[in-house]
Amino acid sequence: MAFHYPNGKPFETQAQSKLTPTTNYGSRGMTLEEEINLSNQYYLDADIAVVHKKPTPIQIVKVDYPKRSQAVIKEAYFRTPSTTDYNGVYRGFYLDFEAKETKNKTSFPLKNFHAHQIKHMQQCLKQDGICFVVMRFVTLKRLFVYPASDLIAIWHAATVDDGRKSIPLTTIEHDGFELTPQLQPLIPYLTGVDWLIQTKRGKNHE
Amino acid sequence: MAFHYPNGKPFETQAQSKLTPTTNYGSRGMTLEEEINLSNQYYLDADIAVVHKKPTPIQIVKVDYPKRSQAVIKEAYFRTPSTTDYNGVYRGFYLDFEAKETKNKTSFPLKNFHAHQIKHMQQCLKQDGICFVVMRFVTLKRLFVYPASDLIAIWHAATVDDGRKSIPLTTIEHDGFELTPQLQPLIPYLTGVDWLIQTKRGKNHE
């Protein structure tokens, strides 16, 4: 993956986007994670933001050190991450987010999130980080940036009151920011971040 | 690891520190990484900052899925990280740093850093992140927060001019911030971050 721009700036991608009907979007068989990773690489190469996916945490039990070759991990286990998958910096703002998709058509199931991720997002909000979820409705081919503050409120309501276990699409349409997929970056989530910053949504403000 | 404070604020640790002579510091056999991790846990529990060590990136080749038990990774390899080890958020500021130690007494060898880490710190500085290194001189029992901007300048001078391959301690004393180890947190690196913010050292300011 390398994008080269003579002046360090991205090419105008609007015209290019028009060459590729948006209805083709998602048909390449890439997961949301892969598309976010490509988008992060684009933002990094164009000096727009520095965001990386965190590696999957692994508990290493046994490592072999063969002569004249690299170490081989022979026994290890997946560990539960204690944070969200993505974080980084954009124009001085700390970004922290999770990317999740659903095949549902009318709501986004809360089971996509874990208690430790909700807690982590709360902690980051307290420190004035910009926290959100990139949500994809796979079947509908629709993408949203949804503020962590709204997710946290719904999560706690669901836990305490044994309430609804998913977020209605209408709620996400109302409180989130819909992204229009494009060619470069595939998932322009920073437009949603600009919206979060401008509207102060999802931020902890005194 | 859990610290409980009745009012969510850390206890005044100055008094406690005096009970533990600083000359004992480092004799517990903890690595710098372990001490930074404990300090991060302290900052997290006290709602002061949210900083985590990134997991070591692993290339997974083979996974077994035994019946009725968890997946076992049977073959995997260590990958080179593309970023620094630590990042997070503190009072709205994006923090990004590396922790390194040396047994040298008069200078800090540049071989402790890799080109990809230097590049990553440059990228984060461009986005107005707060980037630095926590440096420990093991033998001297001295600890510093050293601005990434100074490290980057010395790194490039060393590369281009085939210049000196280490940073003299006198330079680190002059351009860095010396930390006084204490009981809670063991490594109070945020005092160095406050200094970086106040003096605007290590920040990219127009």
Mind listing the pLDDT tens digit of every residue in chain B (206 residues)? 334 334 433 333 333 333 444 444 444 578 999 999 999 999 999 999 999 999 999 999 999 998 888 899 999 999 988 899 999 999 999 999 999 999 999 999 999 999 999 999 999 999 999 999 999 999 999 999 999 999 999 998 887 666 669 999 999 999 999 999 889 999 999 999 999 999 877 555 43
Closest by Cα among A177, A154, A87 to A127: A87
- Token look-up 């001189």 returns B137
User: Would you tell me how many other CB atoms lie within 10 Å of the CB of residue A29?
Assistant: 6
ipTM score for this prediction: 0.82
Q: Give per-residue pLDDT as tens, A178-190.
A: 999 888 999 999 9
Contact residues, chain B, for A52 at CB < 8 Å: 82-83
A198 in B contact zone (CB under 8 Å): no
**Topology annotation, domain B30-55+81-199:** Trna Endonuclease; Chain: A, domain 1 (3.40.1350)
Please give the pLDDT value at position A69: 85
The beta-carbon neighbor of B124 closest among A72, A82, A89 is: A89
Answer yes or no: do B127 and A56 touch at CB < 8 A: no
What amino acid occupies position B8?
A: G
Tell me the CATH class for A18-55+82-199.
alpha beta
Shortest alpha-carbon distance between residue B86 and chain A (Å): 11
Q: Which two tokens stand for residue B133?
A: 């290194």
Q: Do A128 and B92 touch (CB under 8 A)?
A: yes
Residue A155 corresponds to which amino acid? W
Return phi, psi of residue A89, to 5°: -130, 140
**Phi and psi of A105, rounded to 5°?**
-110, -15
The answer for residues whose C-beta is within 8 angstroms of residue A184's C-beta and 6 or more apart is A3, A10, A11, A13, A16, A42
B47 contact A CB<8A: yes
CB contact under 8 A, B89 and A96: yes
Residue from B123, B116, B132, B206 nearest B175 by CA = B132
**Residue A10 C-alpha, separation from nearest chain B C-alpha, in angstroms:** 16
Distance from C-alpha of B77 to C-alpha of B58, rounded to nearest angstrom: 6
* Distance in angstroms (rounded) separating the CA atoms of residues A46 and A50: 10
Class of residue A4 by CB neighbours under 10 A (exposed 0-12, middle 13-18, buried 19+): exposed
